[in-house]
Chain A
Amino acid sequence: MSDHANSKSSPLKTYFAVWIALLFGTWLTYRVAQIDLARWHANAPIALIIATTKALLVALFFMHLKGASEKLLKLVVISTIFFLFILMALSMADYATRLWS
């Protein structure tokens, strides 16, 4: 990708910032897990939101998805996640409704 022209000096700042954010996110996940949010069923969703944020940081900045000139790579990522979501959602449609009748 002819995108290396994009700042040779500031990628370092971005990389270190992302690194700190990732470590913070890890600590946060661990800490929140120790708080009882079972009443709102919130423990798992929060953990997954933090994990997804971390994954996005890695994908966008470390894997250079953000700077990608074409939309194609983003399309690959989104399609994959979409079909994984379909696998889980439609399977759950079965499991969640088995006891209804």
Chain B
Amino acid sequence: MSMATATVQPVERENYLNKHYGVGSWLFTTDHKRIALLYLLSITFFFFIGGFFALLIRLELLTPAGDLVQADTYNKLFTQHGQVMVFFFLIPSIPAVLGNFLVPMMVGAKDLAFPKINLLSWYLYIIAGIMMLHCMLTGGVDTGWTFYTPFSTAFSNTKVIEAGLSIFVAGFSSILTGLNFVVTIHRMRAPGMTWGRLPLFIWAHYATSIIQILGTPVIAITLVLVVAERALHLGIFDPKLGGDPLLFQHLFWFYSHPAVYIMILPSMGVVTEIIACFSRKRIFGYSFVALSSIAIAVFGFLVWAHHMFVAGISVYAALIFSILSYAVAVPSAVKVFNWTATLYKGSIHYDAPMLYAFGFVGLFTMGGLTGLFLAALGVDMHVHDTYFVIAHFHYIMVGGALMGYLGGMHFWWPKISGKLYPEGWARLAALIVFLGFNLTFFPQFILGYLGMPRRYYQYPPEFQILNVLSTAGATVLAVGYLLPMIYFLWSMRYGKPAPDNPWRAAGLEWKTPSPPPTFNFEQEPVVTWEAYNYDEIDAAAAPQEVPVVG
């Protein structure tokens, strides 16, 4: 009737996005929400870089011959794909973007405990990123993301020192984020927000932070040793000089195994929030889910040498680590059971976040179970260093962690941006991601089982069909990832304004406007209700169907 233009707002309410303008107001911000967006831009940038390397890898592997790049170049491709994706995308992703944005709000605080350290964290990440980019542009690294010695310390002719120092700096970014979260969760919960009322997203981030705090320093010192050894020709890891290469591997994996739990736990937290909301039910077995996060963090530190079964460790030590690796699967399984039980008799809604959550549960389960195959010594002898391992960890990291991240981004997008994304496109993108993912990585299980080694750029011709399927899947997957980037950007300008709580979800963050004001809450909240009180929420709701978006 009147000017039916999309977004005519009489007076735009002040929020964290429009409070100050200008590059300086972003680069010197201490607002956790702005820092979260700074991280969002940075990690998306590095995702493109890591994805670019993946693209080249999959292109090379279209044909059995090594005909796209040289062998040395291929070594750099898989090394840098791994380093960028692990250290500059996956490890920060959910904690630095969703965690930074939501942790203070979910506990009812105005900001994290140490806002300036939060900003420092981002700057350390950027410095590390610049170092890594420079390293890649001036020669790259070819040691594998695992930096095994003595190749990395004594033989490689690439920029190992620079890459090592870059990751050292990135590690401190991660440590400071974890430290900030733990202190915030302990010291800044609003009145009435007891441990038993915290969202499970918070429990998941708490457990993640423990790992970041305790594990990252060990890889930091290990990289110092590698750099020192390489620069000064020491013999700490060099067998020719009396050193033990396995010592490097012990120290490296002591962090790098728990690191995979840094990558998955936050995702599990996201999935828990989504499943509760879109089943309109309290999570089944709250304490089990909460404690299983802590258990994963603790057990995760006990299993590292399962990466070293064929490296030459003692078979008795291997037995111990194998048994412990079976134990660490139990808390993860507990979560899957609890999610399933939550869905049972729930009122299921199939919005995009829920599609990602479903994808997560299925793919993570497959990835996790194949981890158990690898934990069995006899099987591992056969499939270690093959594509079976690659498929296993991509199922967890891409099928699991990345889908959790995408689900979380969709779920909280209205809160973060104040706009609604287009639901139809989002469901389509989720489906494309799911199909593309399976097409990319399922053939790799078979390839590995048949014996195709990892990190090889050429292979016997009988493996070609599976490799071609995998590359085709990667293309589909890429489309699936590009779509959300496009429509999220689109929504910032043309999307419908989001109400405070479009999903009618539980949680303190939904009690603020979308987008929230800089200090989150007008008044400090006082919590008198239990977590996931969906029965109360739905009882109090209008007779219309929930959720409101579509």
Q: State yes or no: do A and B come from one complex.
A: yes
A-side interface residues toward B, CB under 8 Å? 72, 79-80, 83, 86-87, 90-91, 93-98, 100-101
Number of interface residues of B (CB under 8 A): 19
| B313 contact from A80, A83, A86, A98, Cβ within 8 A | A98
Contact across chains for B250 and A94 when beta carbons are under 8 A apart: yes
| B305 contact from A72, A94, A100, Cβ within 8 A | A94
Closest to A99 in B: B314
A93-B317, A94-B246 are known; give 19 further A-B pairs, CB within 8 A.
A79-B214, A80-B214, A83-B301, A86-B301, A90-B302, A90-B305, A90-B317, A91-B247, A91-B254, A93-B314, A93-B320, A94-B250, A94-B305, A94-B313, A96-B314, A97-B317, A100-B314, A100-B316, A101-B314
Which of chain A's residues have a CB closer than 8 A to the CB of B120? none
Closest to B244 in A: A95
The 25 listed contacts between A and B (C-beta, < 8 Å) are A79-B214, A83-B214, A83-B301, A86-B301, A87-B254, A90-B305, A90-B317, A90-B321, A91-B247, A91-B250, A93-B314, A93-B316, A93-B317, A94-B246, A94-B250, A94-B313, A94-B314, A97-B316, A97-B317, A98-B313, A98-B314, A100-B314, A100-B316, A101-B315, A101-B316
Closest to B182 in A: A76
> How does the 8 Å CB contact mask read for B295-321 relative to A, with 1 for contact and 0 for none?
000000110110000000111110011
Cα A87 to Cα B258 in complex, Å, equals 12
- In B196-247, which residues have CB < 8 Å from any A CB? 210, 214, 218, 246-247
Which of chain B's residues have a CB closer than 8 A to the CB of A93? 314, 316-317, 320
Cα A75 to Cα B214 in complex, Å, equals 13
| A97 contact from B254, B301, B304, B314, Cβ within 8 A | B314
> How does the 8 Å CB contact mask read for B372-410 relative to A, with 1 for contact and 0 for none?
000000000000000000000000000000000000000
| A86 contact from B302, B314, B315, B317, Cβ within 8 A | B302
Cα A95 to Cα B254 in complex, Å, equals 15
Which of chain B's residues have a CB closer than 8 A to the CB of A97? 314, 316-317
- In B460-493, which residues have CB < 8 Å from any A CB? none
Output the least CB separation between B83 and chain A (Å).
Answer: 23
CB of B186 closer than 8 Å to a CB of A: yes
Output the least CB separation between A83 and chain B (Å).
Answer: 5
Output the least CB separation between B97 and chain A (Å).
Answer: 27
Output the least CB separation between B356 and chain A (Å).
Answer: 33
Closest to B215 in A: A83
Which of chain A's residues have a CB closer than 8 A to the CB of B305? 90, 94
Cα A86 to Cα B305 in complex, Å, equals 12
Output the least CB separation between A100 and chain B (Å).
Answer: 6
Output the least CB separation between B228 and chain A (Å).
Answer: 20
Which of chain B's residues have a CB closer than 8 A to the CB of A83? 214, 301
Which of chain B's residues have a CB closer than 8 A to the CB of A98? 313-314
> How does the 8 Å CB contact mask read for B244-265 relative to A, with 1 for contact and 0 for none?
0011001000100000000000
Output the least CB separation between A33 and chain B (Å).
Answer: 26
